[in-house]
Amino acid sequence: MHYVVTDTMTVIRTEGLTRNYGNFRAVDHLDMEIEEGVCVGFLGPNGAGKSTTIKMLTTLLRPSEGKAYIHGHDVQTDGKKALSDVGAVVETPEFYPYLTPEESLTYLGRLRGMPGPELKKRIDEVLELVKMEEWRDKRIGTFSKGMKQRLAIAQAIMHDPSLIILDEPTSGLDPRGMVEVRDIIRRLKGEGKTIFMSSHLLNEVQEVADTVIMIERGKVILHDRVDALAKYSKSRRIEIQFLTPQTPATTDILKGMAGVKSVEWFGNTVCQITIEGGVEAQRELLAEAVKKGLDVVSFRESGMPLENLYMDLIKDSR
Amino acid sequence: MVYDIPSDMSQAATVARYEVLKYLRGKKLLIVLAIIGLIVTLFLVVPPALGHDYPSDSTDFAMQFLNFGGLVILLCATFFGSDALVAEFQQRTAFLVFPNPVKRWVILAGKFIASLAASALVLGIFYGLIAVIVGVIDHDVPSALASSLAFSLIYTVAVLAVAYLLSAYLKSTVSSSILTFFMFFLILPVIDSVLTFAAVKPWFSLSFVGGVMTYIMQSPYPTDSSLTVGMGHSGMQIMQYYPEIALSVAVIVAYTVVALALAYWRFSRRDL
């Protein structure tokens, strides 16, 4: 049956999207919906099916089963319409080495039907945005991976698409480049764009994404808002710093407290405790530590909530 | 923002324009033209250097050059066609182009148009040089040269189509280029020779029908013949086959249609 999305707020929709490589199923009947204006972090370990899903959304791969729709258009049968309002960076694309950034962007802009004067104006804007304006008339053949990645982002946003699909957008960038790309993503998010972004960098996702979709072995294991993730977390890590060096007796005291799963020392004044439960368990642990006379000078959650949750969920699914 | 996406034909023209730019900026066009220059120079320099005169008949003189027409077309197919599709995958430029609202057959069509345009330019220069040289030396340009050029152009379409077919299926630009070159330079000619030796006319062979571009210069057009070598019981009959023009055009059309259809089928289904 041919499916037509009637809900105009749904930008991406997959139905039973599946991709097999021989006997290996990379994406397994993936169902998901991405709504308009949302920045989605698409997470999962290596081989979970993130890139395969993105490739199927951008017509680089054909699904073995199922359907993918963008703005209501079937990506496989109506790719031209489906991709008309999409900007994508998939892996680190290579550019034609004999062209300059300006020529490459002009080529892609013409394929998209951007009129001449507007195309020139947008090329100026996006090259400035990705800090590549001084390289605009140099042949791309000699560019580094990071420069190509910046240019890839420039081509993805040049036509001002409402949906931007990014596969590891900070891959190949130095720390400064990563910060700049995150700033660009925030800016696009502020403009109301829908962003679907895969990444290995959990802090990156936590900083910019509204919603997280986690996949493992090709299946969605979590799809929720970033600010609602705490409820999924079964454990948290707490870093405690003591005023004076501690003895093994302190470890015994800590391990005896309710909910403590493990204690790991970093030197003899700092330890990291893994506890079961949420903020309540954290509060009780602190109260008990003080009550038992431990000279605590610092008590704080260590690691990011998303990172802790990721580790929990991925561990559970294996 | 959603722009008014251009028509498929308009997009194909854009793809073709940038492919031609690739040939102009790369060394491929230059190399092919240099080889043509070398062939022509050798034909001009060697005979006088060895004390021979140029052929006084303009058709014979032109045919000397045209014997290399097949090689020129093969060089065009190798340089402009054999890596056209496979390079998108091997060099990962497909990651840049494919996620755009452009159909794969449009990309294929644009590239093919560009390959054909570059090849036509090379053939135009080759035939132009022949016409000038023969005209200056023999004071006559054979009118059949135009027919030869027309046939060589349609023959180029078929050879390019086969090169695109190989390019769609093979995994590296090097293997695609090597196989394209040796297919027309060695493999098919050897098969043609073996079939001829076995008294089977290879009318269906693409390399065999390419001979029309030279034979079309002759008047009357040559017909199949046989030659007996040796005497008595040890005498052996050797067949001399010539491709028929109409049948050759049909063979060229068949190769073009089938090769391009298979190339498109593979190119449109090739995953990244």
Contact A296, A286 (CB under 8 A): yes
The verdict on A110 touching B (C-beta cutoff 8 Å) is yes
pLDDT given at position B31 = 93
- Write the ipTM: 0.88
* Burial annotation A4-23 (CB, 10 A radius, 16+ → b, else e): ebeeeebbbbbeebbbeeee
| A73 in any annotated domain | yes
| Last residue of one domain, picked from the residues A230, A257, A279 | A230
pLDDT given at position A165 = 96
Asked whether residue A4 carries a pLDDT value surpassing 80, the answer given is no
**A28 sits in which H/E element:** strand A24-35
**B108 sits in which H/E element:** helix B104-138
pLDDT given at position A225 = 87
Identify whether residues A168 and A312 lie together within a single domain: no
Asked whether residue A186 carries a pLDDT value surpassing 80, the answer given is yes
Identify whether residues A127 and A205 lie together within a single domain: yes
Q: What is the pLDDT of residues B140-169, one digit of tens each?
A: 999 999 999 999 999 999 999 999 999 999
pLDDT given at position A305 = 64
* DSSP-assigned states of every residue in A40-69: EEEE--TTSSHHHHHHHHTTSS--SEEEEE
Candidates B27, B100, B173: best to mutate against A (most CBs of A within 10 A) is B100
Closest CB to A93: pick one of B14, B92, B102: B92
Residues 43-62 of A with CB under 8 A from B: 55, 58-62
Domains of chain B, residue spans: 8-189+244-269
Q: Which residue has the higher pLDDT, A235 or B249?
A: B249
**Confidence at A315, pLDDT banded by 50, 70, 90:** low
Q: Which residue has the higher pLDDT, A13 or A275?
A: A13
The verdict on B265 touching A (C-beta cutoff 8 Å) is no
User: What's the mean pLDDT in A206-231?
Assistant: 85
| A268 in any annotated domain | yes
Identify whether residues A34 and A135 lie together within a single domain: yes
The verdict on B15 touching A (C-beta cutoff 8 Å) is yes
* DSSP-assigned states of every residue in B40-81: HHHHHHHHHHTTPPPPSSHHHHHHHHHTTHHHHHHHHIIIII
How far apart (Å, rounded) are the C-alpha atoms in residues A164 and A256?
50
| A283 in any annotated domain | yes
- Alpha helices, DSSP H only, in chain A? 50-57, 79-82, 101-111, 116-129, 145-157, 175-190, 202-208, 248-255, 279-291, 305-317
> Which residues in chain A are closer than 8 Å to B25, comparing Cβ atoms?
98
Task: Look at B98 and A59 and tell me if their CB atoms are within 8 Å.
Answer: yes
Contact A194, A38 (CB under 8 A): yes
Closest CA relative to residue B152, chosen from B232, B249, B81: B249
Q: What is the mean pLDDT of chain B?
A: 93
Candidates B15, B23, B96: best to mutate against A (most CBs of A within 10 A) is B96
The verdict on A19 touching B (C-beta cutoff 8 Å) is no
The verdict on A140 touching B (C-beta cutoff 8 Å) is no
| A131 in any annotated domain | yes
Range from A301-305, B216-220, B241-245 carrying the lowest mean pLDDT: A301-305
Q: Number of structural domains, chain A?
A: 2
User: What's the mean pLDDT in A30-57?
Assistant: 92
Q: What is the pLDDT of residues B53-63, one digit of tens each?
A: 888 899 999 99
| A4 in any annotated domain | no
Asked whether residue B215 carries a pLDDT value surpassing 90, the answer given is yes
User: What's the mean pLDDT in A63-78?
Assistant: 94
Kindly state the tokens that stand for B16.
Answer: 């073709």
Task: Look at B97 and A83 and tell me if their CB atoms are within 8 Å.
Answer: no
| Last residue of one domain, picked from the residues A230, A256, A284 | A230
Kindly state the tokens that stand for A81.
Answer: 């319409």
> Which residues in chain A are closer than 8 Å to B97, comparing Cβ atoms?
108, 111
Range from A118-122, A277-281, B199-203 carrying the lowest mean pLDDT: A277-281
> Which residues in chain B are closer than 8 Å to A114, comparing Cβ atoms?
3
Residues 87-126 of B with CB under 8 A from A: 91-103
What domain range includes position A123?
10-230
Task: Look at A159 and B1 and tell me if their CB atoms are within 8 Å.
Answer: yes
Alpha-carbon distance A14 to nearest alpha carbon in chain B (angstroms): 17
**A with B: how many residue pairs have Cβ under 8 Å apart?**
99
Task: Look at A80 and B5 and tell me if their CB atoms are within 8 Å.
Answer: yes
Identify whether residues A216 and A299 lie together within a single domain: no
**Confidence at B230, pLDDT banded by 50, 70, 90:** confident
Helix (H, G, I), strand (E, B) or coil at A4: coil
* CA-based nearest residue in chain A for residue B106: A111
Q: Tell me which DSSP letter residue A142 carries.
A: G
pLDDT given at position A3 = 39
Asked whether residue A260 carries a pLDDT value surpassing 70, the answer given is yes
How far apart (Å, rounded) are the C-alpha atoms in residues A206 and A192?
18
> Which residues in chain A are closer than 8 Å to B18, comparing Cβ atoms?
96, 99, 103, 107
How far apart (Å, rounded) are the C-alpha atoms in residues A246 and A295?
9
Q: What is the mean pLDDT of chain A?
A: 87
Q: How far apart are the first and last CA of chain B?
A: 27
Alpha-carbon distance B34 to nearest alpha carbon in chain A (angstroms): 21
The verdict on B6 touching A (C-beta cutoff 8 Å) is yes
User: What's the mean pLDDT in A223-250?
Assistant: 83
Asked whether residue B260 carries a pLDDT value surpassing 70, the answer given is yes
Q: Which residue has the higher pLDDT, B234 or B250?
A: B250
- CA distances to A258, A262, A292 from A269, rounded to whole Å, are 22, 16, 17
| A3 in any annotated domain | no
Closest CB to A59: pick one of B4, B25, B99: B99
Q: Which residue has the higher pLDDT, B9 or A283?
A: B9
User: What's the mean pLDDT in A74-81?
Assistant: 93
Identify whether residues A63 and A98 lie together within a single domain: yes
The torsion region of residue B7 among left (phi > 0), alpha (psi -120 to 50) and beta comes to: beta
User: What's the mean pLDDT in A257-277?
Assistant: 88
CATH number of the domain that residue A110 is part of: 3.40.50.300
pLDDT given at position A6 = 46
Asked whether residue A2 carries a pLDDT value surpassing 80, the answer given is no
Asked whether residue A259 carries a pLDDT value surpassing 90, the answer given is no
Q: Which of A52-56, A206-210, B43-47 has the highest mean pLDDT?
A: A52-56
Task: Look at A98 and B2 and tell me if their CB atoms are within 8 Å.
Answer: no
Task: Look at A61 and B272 and tell me if their CB atoms are within 8 Å.
Answer: yes
pLDDT given at position B263 = 97
Contact B31, B40 (CB under 8 A): no
Q: Which residue has the higher pLDDT, A283 or B188?
A: B188
| Last residue of one domain, picked from the residues A204, A230, A256 | A230
**Confidence at A171, pLDDT banded by 50, 70, 90:** confident
Q: What is the pLDDT of residues B174-201, one digit of tens each?
A: 999 999 999 999 999 999 999 998 999 9
The verdict on A74 touching B (C-beta cutoff 8 Å) is no
CATH number of the domain that residue A263 is part of: 3.30.70.1560
